[in-house]
């Protein structure tokens, strides 16, 4: 069984998000997906799945500066489920 390694994380300011979805394809490990609920201005916003590498691609592409990126000194390991 293979696990998922998480080397970083992001804090997402969902109330700044305009829902443009540019961050979704910009994430190399594809660990961002749009939410099923809406923020205060009525748009969907990104949610983080396990496996972030802390690469900052999302922060670079976001026109509304919604992402703060953090890298862990020690990666977290998750067992893959299903």
By CB under 6 A, tell whether 6 contacts ligand SF4: no
Contact of 14 with 39, CB cutoff 8 Å: yes
4 or 26: whose CB is closer to ligand SF4?
Answer: 26
**Residue 79: CB minimum distance to ligand SF4, A:** 20
2, β-bridge pairs = none
Helix (H) or strand (E) holding 38: strand 32-38
The conformation of residue 26, written as its DSSP 8-state character, comes to H
By CB under 6 A, tell whether 46 contacts ligand SF4: yes
By CB under 6 A, tell whether 54 contacts ligand SF4: yes
């Amino acid at each position: 069984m293979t696990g998922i390694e998480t080397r970083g994380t992001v804090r997402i300011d969902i109330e700044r998000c305009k829902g443009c979805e540019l961050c979704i394809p910009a994430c190399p490990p594809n660990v961002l997906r749009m939410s099923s609920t809406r923020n205060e201005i009525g748009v969907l916003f990104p949610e983080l799945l396990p496996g972030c590498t802390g690469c900052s691609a999302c922060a670079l592409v976001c026109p509304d500066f919604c992402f703060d990126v953090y890298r862990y000194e020690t990666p977290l390991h998750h067992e893959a489920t299903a």
